[in-house]
Amino acid sequence: MATDSPDDTIPDAALGTDDQKAPESKLVATKRAWAREGRLLTGAQADSTPAARPRLPPGQRLVTNWPVLDLGILPDVGADDWTLTVDGLVDHPFTWRWADFQDQPAFSDTSDIHCVTSWSRYDNHWRGVSAGHIVALARPQADAAHVLLHSYDGYTTNLSLAAFSAADVLLAATWQGEPLTREHGGPVRLVVPQAYFWKSAKWIRRIQFVNDDTPGFWEVRGYHNEGDPWTEQRYG
């Protein structure tokens, strides 16, 4: 699902965690209920081998627009104010401003979007910086097995280091040749094509390398920890 983002002025507690239970919005309460009910699950499981699986995962329908989904907070982070911090269990922590991001080797990829709310969109062309490049610069330590992504709206989501390092994962600044719009996570969002889109955090501000797997915003609210669309890992 396209629900992701970052901002130092909006702490994670504003959205609620297991330890700090802020009142939930109607959207969050509805999605939590979906997880309890197993809404949209078909019970079908496609072959998860990339060469053998169908392009459209089970339970998905194809759309040509790009629906906007978020937590009701729309950070206004322009390129002049945007920063990305990469830290945690790494030998080379760093912080980029927009000019630093622009100076990195450009990476382009075309991939499909699969949202947990059952829509998919084909042939999205992204351009930005590959996650593999970030991993190579940061040099994760031996005990770094996972990453926790932080967004400017307080959102978090988790990935294994292997999933984050996949060849098609990137931090995207453009979509279909145009700068990524604010409602879709601009100036920079994560794109993880092999997972439901809630793993592709919008408005990315921090990539934290960690030892223990740390479930993020939707994961602690009943969503699956990994989110493979072809095996319908919608809920945990």
List, for residues 38-87, the tens digit of each pLDDT value. 888 888 876 667 778 899 999 999 999 999 977 778 999 999 999 999 99
How long is the chain?
236
Q: Which residue has the tokens 């990315």?
A: 204
CATH of the domain at 207: 3.90.420.10
Question: Looking at the domain assignment, is residue 46 inside a domain?
Answer: no
Determine contact, residues 115/197, Cβ cutoff 8 Å. yes
> Which has more pLDDT, 19 or 97?
97
Could you tell me what percent of the chain has a pLDDT over 90? 74
Task: Report whether pLDDT(13) > 50.
Answer: no
Instruction: Tell me what pLDDT residue 1 has.
Output: 37
CB-count burial class (<10 Å; 0-12, 13-18, 19+) for 206? buried
199: region left, alpha or beta (phi > 0 left; psi from -120 to 50 alpha)? alpha
The mean per-residue pLDDT over the stretch 171-183 comes to: 97
Q: What φ, ψ does residue 33 adopt, rounded to 5°?
A: -65, -40
Question: Looking at the domain assignment, is residue 62 inside a domain?
Answer: yes
- C-alpha–C-alpha distance, residues 174 and 197, integer Å: 17
Question: Looking at the domain assignment, is residue 68 inside a domain?
Answer: yes
Say which range, 9-13, 76-80, 178-182, has the weakest mean pLDDT: 9-13
The DSSP symbol for 53 reads S
- C-alpha–C-alpha distance, residues 167 and 144, integer Å: 19
Question: Looking at the domain assignment, is residue 39 inside a domain?
Answer: no
Question: Looking at the domain assignment, is residue 45 inside a domain?
Answer: no
- C-alpha–C-alpha distance, residues 212 and 210, integer Å: 6
Give the chain's mean pLDDT.
89
Total domain count, the chain:
1
- Domain of residue 64: give its range: 12-30+53-231
Question: Looking at the domain assignment, is residue 35 inside a domain?
Answer: no
Question: Looking at the domain assignment, is residue 37 inside a domain?
Answer: no
Instruction: Tell me what pLDDT residue 23 has.
Output: 54
Strands (E), 81-145: 83-88, 94-97, 107-114, 119-130
Instruction: Tell me what pLDDT residue 44 has.
Output: 80
List, for residues 197-210, the tens digit of each pLDDT value. 999 999 999 999 99
pTM for this entry: 0.86
Closest CA to 208 of 161, 149, 151: 149
Question: Looking at the domain assignment, is residue 7 inside a domain?
Answer: no
